[in-house]
Structure 1
């Protein structure tokens, strides 16, 4: 059993005697129970519930988020949105330059004919004034409406414990997701996510693929808003 679960033999013997102290805490004890149950082919959840009832109940997401703060911040490279205002200004400048070139340059033969046709008793017809190029109205929208929700899509590459809460602390999900699972959650204003195996999941937030929050198999706490990641 120790070879198949990679749990020390002394820890397994202590668990057989209802001594979970060598496990190093409730979180690891639950993980050992699930690992042993999967090896022997039984459902681990009833055993985990029995353990929680004996040792003070299941963990709350708030306490988990407080207990496992990352040692260093996690940064994602944010994708810049297109600058439509600058693009509009460049387009108007090009149109204005083209209009000036047409007025100042014109056709040389046409200018010569106008000079010859002009007489002291006649006044040359003024050149037609080019119509001004209509500019964009201030009221025209140049950007889409601001996002009001947080949308998270998670793909699980390796089994991981996950907790998801909204801005009011309501638990949207708390449990272990197996490899190959895909889940989606949507909240308003803010979403707090705690991942037990950060390198085993891939995240897409508000339609932008962020990948794995860490390269290590460590617990990580992330806070998202409609604008993206704000704190890790």
Structure 2
């Protein structure tokens, strides 16, 4: 077996590994399971595709594991791989090409037909079209430059003002004062502005998952209120004007506040009017208040 390793002139290291693997009736998946090397890297090793291999330090370890699995001397296999790798690396440095480029250049450059870009065909087509238009213009005497000049002058010249006949021009002066329409009457009463609905405050807080109601309370003046959320105990808050407070509930919200409460309510982004006071207290319960 060592004699086959030392015969470097007959086949590459990758071809030798593949030949011995096939002789032992091993599939790539068997080698991958034994060495923990991915099948893609094993195929690249057998094909001597150095560009698909990882860094050289990892590649050396992979060749050693593969040789050990096949019962070969790992040191000799790694040494042989390094010699072939350095030779392959020296060729592209001399020619300025990467290994995949110089490996496919000798065959691909001889078999590929000359290719022309789309721009080449487009330029040839435009030249032919211009030549045909020039022949037509010369034969018919048509000058496209003069027609374009007339077309541009049509945009630059101002439109002629239409003059009225003399009898129509003097007709307004001959009309009497009685024929002049009176100016529209202006009401002395000032117009009553229509108030626009105030937009809800920007809370930047959507209804959280698991909740049905998002109540936003904007305090216009200092106001006290009692609020009960779901099964939680009542909470009494007193907040100054300009404060915005939010509560979220999954089942119900109950509010109680004095009749002079100066607040604005928004439920899920929609303005909620305050009910009239009853027994000196404004009280509402959601969702019962929405069904009234």
- Structure having the higher Rg: 2
Which one scores higher on RCO, CA 8 angstroms, separation ≥ 6?
1
Bigger helix fraction: 2
Q: TM-score, normalised by structure 1?
A: 0.30
Higher strand share: 1
